[in-house]
Amino acid sequence: MALRVLNGHADGVQSVAFSPDGATLASGSEDGTLRTWDTPSGRALGVLRGHTLAVRSVAFSPDGAFLASGSEDMTVRTWDANEGNPLAVLPGHGGIILSVVFSPDGSLIASGAGDSTARTWDARTGKALLVLQGHAGAIFSVAFSPDGSLIASGSWDQSVRMWSATTGALLKVLEGHSYSVCGVAFSPNGVLMASCSDDGTMRTWDAETGKTLLKIKGNNGSVQAVAFSPDGSLIASSSKDCTVRLWDSRCALHARREMMALLLAGLPRNAGGAAHAFLAQDGPRDLCKRIFEYLLPR
């Protein structure tokens, strides 16, 4: 049951974000505006005008003092979250902005766009810093690792890429999805990375090695977004099958531990009956993935 209905936008709402303290909600709309709302009461706080086309992504800074927005007008904008005043316009992308996010310390903004690039910006000055090039299609989602050292990007080209947030160097290409990657997220401890795709699956990855841990099926349509709970115990996925699903992230952590143990031990004879059964069929490379796909509820 809905607790509040917040009316005011004149067109579809594309993105919402809570402030870190949960007191304020920001929304970005196809009407070209951002709006801020008092969470407890639902009272409208402000209308932030400046974009000339639909706002596709909004994000609060970690201290809640600033907002970033990405728009189909190909700009990123920053705002004073308390007063609603515009601060900076960040031009440079050659396509619509599909994702914006602040770094954990609030010093950087990363953006992903339809021009196949991700960019980073100084959050305080608006200065352009890095251009991350390598994807062969639109970037739908970007995320910082919890320590701020990595940026993950998910793209139309079916891949996830990991970049250095400091130098912009491409560190890893994570392949496995068979259609566009719609969302990426790091676990709060930075050990896992999750991605979701138009192929109807969610995947979990070892954030250090880039290896696939689990391929999770369950949704009956494109999986549009993925997020970890604050304590990292759950992964949420949203799908065009009209469902939100919650998954136990411990399966991925167990898979990571098993994969490392089996690799270190050279697949010992006492690895277990299920392991031997899957090993005979698939070989070591797919062993852990198959074991945990087998254990996951259908």
Beta-bridge partners for 155? 139
85 three-state secondary structure: coil
Give how far Cα 274 sits from Cα of 116, 253, 257, 285, 286, Å.
42, 18, 16, 15, 13
Distance CA 154, CA 47 (A): 30
Helix (H) or strand (E) holding 106, with range, is none
> In one letter, which amino acid is 261?
A
**Interior CA angle at 190 toward 205 and 100, to 5°?**
90
- What top-level class would CATH report for the domain 13-249? mainly beta
270 three-state secondary structure: helix
DSSP 8-class letter at 269: G
What residue ranges do the domains of the chain occupy? 13-249
Per-position pLDDT tens, the chain of length 298: 677 889 999 999 999 999 999 999 999 999 999 999 999 999 999 999 999 999 999 999 999 999 999 999 999 999 999 999 999 999 999 999 999 999 999 999 999 999 999 999 999 999 999 999 999 999 999 999 999 999 999 999 999 999 999 999 999 999 999 999 999 999 999 999 999 999 999 999 999 999 888 888 877 889 989 999 888 888 888 888 888 888 887 765 555 555 555 555 554 434 433 333 333 334 333 444 443 443 333 3
> Which pTM does this prediction carry?
0.82
Beta-bridge partners for 101? 110
Question: What's phi and psi for 77, nearest 5 deg?
Answer: -125, 150
